[in-house]
Amino acid sequence: MVENRPFTQFMAYLTLALGIVIVVFPVYLAIMASTFDAATIVNGNMPLTPGDQAGENYSRALFYGGKLAREPVSMMMMNSMIMALGIAFGKILISILSAYAVVYFKFPFRKTAFWVIFITLMLPVEVRIYPTYKIVADLGLLDTYTGLIMPLIASATGTLLFRQFFMTIPDELLEASKIDGAGAFRFFKDTLLPLSMTTIAALFVIQFIYGWNQYLWPLLITTKSSMQTIVIGIKKMITTTDALTEWQIAMTTAVLAMLPPVLVVVFMQRLFVKGLVETEK
Amino acid sequence: MEKRAHFSGWTLPLLLIVPQMAITIIFFYWPASQAIWQSFLREDAFGLSSEFVGFENYVHLFEQPEYYRAMVTTAIFSSLVAFFSLACSLLLATQADKNLRGGQAYKTLLIWPYAVAPAIAGVLWIFMFHPTLGTLSKPIKAIGIDWNPMLNGNHAMTLLVLSATWKQISYNFLFFLAGLQAIPKSVIEAAAIDGAGPLRRFWTVIFPLLSPTTFFLLVVNIVYVFFDTFGIIDAVTGGGPAGTTTTLVYKVYADGRLGGDLGGSAAQSVILMIIVIALTAIQFRYVERKVQY
């Protein structure tokens, strides 16, 4: 700080506090709503302090589900978890291997291969949904985890991230390994992989959140309610015909849907920030 | 950039690159080329046969007033969200950059909405501003506004902008804070010695030095509003009321799914691809210039 005026300090605290209130309030309201019964919410006079229905709402949502979504939320969470982990691990696996090939080997069409992968950086799945849907349908992958996961790992961010990291590793390490008689497999396993652990973890955090929060793709390719992810499930609990919406269950589900990715961000904040900043570079 | 030392051999690297190549070709290049091809075809009503119609789908698209409306909606939506989320997060980041007690706690409390799915963010906001049971609808109605985002297009758009901005603040905040912390303190001290007050320092020193971050975030935010807000729109308004919140991406979805017009939907996809490629190209050109500066 250049100068330390009490007034500017005070304003800074005030602005931040206000910002935090705005950021937290919608979620606070959802948590409160998950502790009341339907009648209290529907009459529009929900108190801002917790009610006593939390146990009832959470156990009903987790093990029975809403009237409209028809599946227990615990099952939807399981589907979301499989999808998020599949996307995170799948992407890490294919991209660390291809980055290793592109950086540490000289082979024909290496540059071409790199560009073929690099171009995918530009186009999110949303612009090619129907053709992708058709291909997944033709391959018989509708309503499968493979169909949920595969099209979403077809992107270059991971490869670029690992390539960038590998370029910072000194050449001397490879030269030394070669003198010690290590082959490509040994070098990867004993030298490169241990060095890449932070990068892998950072990519994992980002991809887990990305996978857990997917919406359009699972909406299209899951038709069975047993394959539904939680983000889709909650949307189905809210209908335009208000009478059918069970807001207390919908809000309970919303809280459950936010929990895993938010915990990941809060407890792995350093990795999260690293992953976010470096995948965007 | 090249590595000095390499492994020799062909088969191993090719085996290593095959999984990614296969997935990229099957789930990226094939559908993308299908989209381009389909945009030149027209299917009959039953989807049994299709004929090559050249640019007819595109011509038809640009004859639809709804398409222009979706363009205008997208433009309004993305500029409002980009402006408000950048402004709010810059304000918060400049405050958090001052050496306050508990700085790390503020950061944590501000960044977690990044982890909330767009569709969930939409659900939270529709609950808060629901015309009959929303906690915040009552004060709005008390000042005489007949608040109803289910029926009034402007109210629906306001609600979308609010929820999309709320969701994006954390991301912008992180990058602005990193950008601010990278500005050398000596520059700011020099300006202070020259007699510049905090506001003057901000507009003449800090803001210009921050411009690469701001520009980068502007592009990222526009792309975010184009694509990632699909979940918010579907959860909050479903493109309604009466199509007032149908953006370009939402229209691709609605036309292909509900209308069954695959050719028209594919033509829209191709136009979107061109827009994204243009945005990315602008960003890359700028990033290169940033390196020199």
Instruction: Spell B130-163 as b/e; 16+ CB within 10 A means b.
Output: bbebbbbbeeeeeeeeebbbbebbebbbebbbbb
Rounded to whole angstroms, how far apart are CA atoms A130 and A145?
A: 18
Judged against a pLDDT cut of 90, whether residue A40 lies above it is answered with no
Q: What is the pLDDT of residues A74-121, one digit of tens each?
A: 999 999 999 999 999 999 999 999 999 999 988 888 888 888 888 777
Q: Which of A87, A105, A180 would best serve as a mutation to test chain B binding (most B beta carbons within 10 A)?
A: A105
Looking at chain A, the whole-number percentage of residues with pLDDT higher than 90 is 36
Chain A contacts in chain B segment 170-229 (CB below 8 A): 170-171, 174-175, 178, 188-189, 192, 198, 201, 216, 220, 223, 227
A12 close to B98: Cβ distance less than 8 angstroms: yes
Q: Are the Cβ atoms of B23 and A209 closer than 8 angstroms?
A: no
> Any idea which fold B54-292 has?
MetI-like fold (1.10.3720)
Q: What is the pLDDT of residue B293?
A: 36
Q: What is the pLDDT of residue A109?
A: 83
Judged against a pLDDT cut of 90, whether residue B48 lies above it is answered with no
Q: What is the pLDDT of residue B291?
A: 39
Judged against a pLDDT cut of 60, whether residue B292 lies above it is answered with no
Q: Are the Cβ atoms of A116 and B24 closer than 8 angstroms?
A: yes
Looking at chain A, the whole-number percentage of residues with pLDDT higher than 70 is 95
Rounded to whole angstroms, how far apart are CA atoms B225 and B204?
A: 30
Q: What is the pLDDT of residues A186-229, one digit of tens each?
A: 999 999 999 999 999 999 999 999 999 999 899 988 888 889 99
ipTM of the complex: 0.89
Instruction: Spell B34-67 as b/e; 16+ CB within 10 A means b.
Output: bbbebbbbbeeeeeeeeeeeeebbbebbeeeeeb
- CB-CB neighbors (< 8 A) of B188 in chain A: 2
A235 touches chain B (CB under 8 A): yes
CATH code reported for the domain at A34-280:
1.10.3720.10
Q: What is the pLDDT of residue A277?
A: 80
Domain segments of chain A as ranges: 34-280
B89 close to B176: Cβ distance less than 8 angstroms: yes
Residue A161 to chain B, least CA–CA distance (Å): 14
Helix (H) or strand (E) holding B41: strand B41-43
Q: Which of B24, B38, B88 sits opposite A120 (nearest CB)?
A: B24
Chain B contacts in chain A segment 241-260 (CB below 8 A): 242, 247, 250-251, 254, 257-258
Nearest residue to A184 (alpha-carbon basis) of B16, B22, B3, B2: B16
Rounded to whole angstroms, how far apart are CA atoms B194 and B172?
A: 31
Q: What is the pLDDT of residues A229-248, one digit of tens each?
A: 999 988 888 876 566 678 88
Q: Position B216: which residue type?
A: F
Q: Are the Cβ atoms of A258 and B5 closer than 8 angstroms?
A: no
Q: What is the pLDDT of residue A68?
A: 67
Chains A & B: contacts with CB separation below 8 Å: 292
- CB-CB neighbors (< 8 A) of A130 in chain B: 35, 38, 252, 256, 262, 265-266, 269
Round the average pLDDT of chain A to a whole number and report it: 87
